[in-house]
Amino acid sequence: MKINKQDLLNLKTLLEDGKITQKKFKNKTIVDGLKQNGSVKKARQTASVRHITILKPENVFLFLKQQGLNITSIDGIDSYINDIFDKKPSRDIIQKQTSNTKVKRSPSLKGLYVSSLENLDIKIDDEVITISPTNGVGIFLFHTQKIEVFEDTIIVGVENYQVVWFAQKYAKFFQDKKVLFVSITPYMLEWIQNIKNEYIHFGDYDLAGVNIYLNKVLPRLKCSKRYSMFIPKNIEYLIKKYGDFKLHKKQLVYINIQSSDTNIQNLIKTIKHYKKGLEQEGLYLLD
């Protein structure tokens, strides 16, 4: 789907004002896509004017991601317009703004990017602080700090920091669990080498996502007494119905990946059978 400068300006208006007239979008498939993924809903209509109103702002950015655009905020829309439309873009800028989702998973800052589902105590430099859940907000902890979690806290590693921002969307998967969402960064992989806490990998359901867990995360869990990859019980149905062929096609380099874990091996077989992959962010659309 082609998204032009005016389309992005319209999306910015929608996010800022909470509504917009449908006729502003010349490409009607954009409106259809926003409706299908739960970003917007129909507002009160008149004989001549039809509005759509914002329902889930975060889904707008998910929609843009699905179109291959690395835009995660309103400021990001302005940046994209400036880089791509308002000046001649270099190859590096184009790659930055439209890179593969696996490349843009985590912030480059050295530290931990975290959030929680409820008020959660952790230790920073031996001082107890409370992380409070706020929709759309994550907390960055610098590597220069001593970061400790209490033994009953479960570490949930995620591949995309948007999951950290909107962790509440995934609360139904972690009911009755005391969890700390942590974005997977190079520093996070260093940090988990020393934790004894239970670890749950909440990644993408594609070959690259499985590879991250098996070959990047698992070797680091030297002290953890319990670890697993979260796999929904209905994962076969979800991949079959909502999976992406293109995602799978880009990841054939991992086609021979295997696991001794029965659940993960079954996931690999399902991915290969349907030749599809499903990104974790899409799970909260499936209410």
Q: Which pair of tokens denotes residue 150?
A: 């209490």
Q: Is residue 256 included in any domain, yes or no?
A: yes
Boundary-marking domain end, from 63, 98, 133: 98
Look at residue 130 in the predicted model and tell me its pLDDT: 94
Q: Over the chain, what is the mean pLDDT?
A: 85
Q: Give me the domain span that covers residue 122.
A: 111-285
Local confidence band at 282 (pLDDT 50, 70, 90 cut-offs): low
What is the domain-level CATH number for residue 146? 3.40.1360.10
Distance between CA atoms of 47 and 136, rounded to whole angstroms? 36
Domain shared by 155 and 34, yes or no: no
Has residue 138 been placed in a domain?
A: yes
Q: What is the pLDDT of residue 103?
A: 42
pLDDT at residue 147, as a whole number: 93
Q: At what angle do helices 28-36 and 57-66 cross, to 10 degrees?
A: 120
With 80 as the cut, is the pLDDT of residue 68 above it? no
Establish if 106 belongs to a structural domain.
no
Residues 91 and 230 grouped into a single domain: no
Give the lowest-confidence range in 102-111, 134-143, 183-192, 245-254: 102-111
Is there a contact between 158 and 179 (Cβ–Cβ < 8 Å)? no
Q: How many structural domains does the chain have?
A: 2
Q: Is the pLDDT score of 96 beyond 60? A: no
Q: Are residues 155 and 194 in the same domain?
A: yes
pLDDT exceeds 60 at position 25: yes
Q: Mark whether 85 and 162 lie in a shared domain.
A: no
91 and 115 together in one domain? no
Is 142 found in the same domain as 25?
A: no
Residue 3 CA to residue 70 CA, distance in Å, equals: 13
Q: What's at 223, amino acid-wise?
A: C
Question: Is 275 or 185 the better-scoring residue by pLDDT?
Answer: 275
* Domain final residue pick, 76, 98, 120: 98
- Do residues 41 and 117 share a domain? no
Spatial contact of 203 and 212, defined as CB atoms under 8 Å apart: yes
Task: Identify the residue with better confidence: 268 or 167.
Answer: 268
Average pLDDT over residues 178-191: 93
Residue 16 belongs to a domain: yes
Same domain membership, residue 257 and residue 184: yes
Q: What is the pLDDT of residue 104?
A: 44
155 and 57 share a domain? Answer: no
Whether 249 is in a domain gets the answer: yes
Averaged pLDDT for residues 160-180: 88
Same domain, 38 and 117: no
Q: Which amino acid, residue 150?
A: F
Q: Are 208 and 251 in contact (CB under 8 A)?
A: yes
Dihedral angle computed from the Cα positions of residues 6, 10, 16 and 20, in that order, rounded to the nearest 10 degrees: 150
Residue 155 clears pLDDT 80, i.e. is over it: yes
**Is 105 within a domain?**
no
Whether 103 maps to a domain, the answer reads no
104 falls within a domain: no
Which strands sit side by side in the sheet containing 120-124, from one edge to the other?
A: 127-131, 120-124, 147-149
Asked if residue 243 and residue 120 are part of one domain, the reply reads yes
From 98, 121, 146, give the residue that closes a domain.
98
Predicted confidence at residue 16, as pLDDT, reads: 82
Q: What is the pLDDT of residues 120-136, one digit of tens each?
A: 999 999 999 999 988 77
φ, ψ of residue 124 to 5 degrees: the values are: -120, 115
SS3 string, the chain, reads CCCCHHHHHHHHHHHHHCEEEHHHCCCHHHHHHHHHCCCEEECCCCCCCCEEEECCHHHHHHHHHHCCCCCCCHHHHHHHHHHHHCCCCCHHHHHHHHCCCCCCCCCCCCEEEEEECCCEEEEECCEEEEECCCCCCCEEEECCCCEEECCCCEEEEECCHHHHHCHHHHHHHHCCCCEEEEECCHHHHHHHHHCCCCEEEECCECHHHHHHHHHHHHHHCCCCCCEEECCCCCHHHHHHHHCEHHHHHCCHHHCCCCCCCHHHHHHHHHHHHHCCEECHHHHHHCC
For residue 43, name the pLDDT band (cuts at 50, 70, 90). low
Q: Are residues 278 and 138 in the same domain?
A: yes
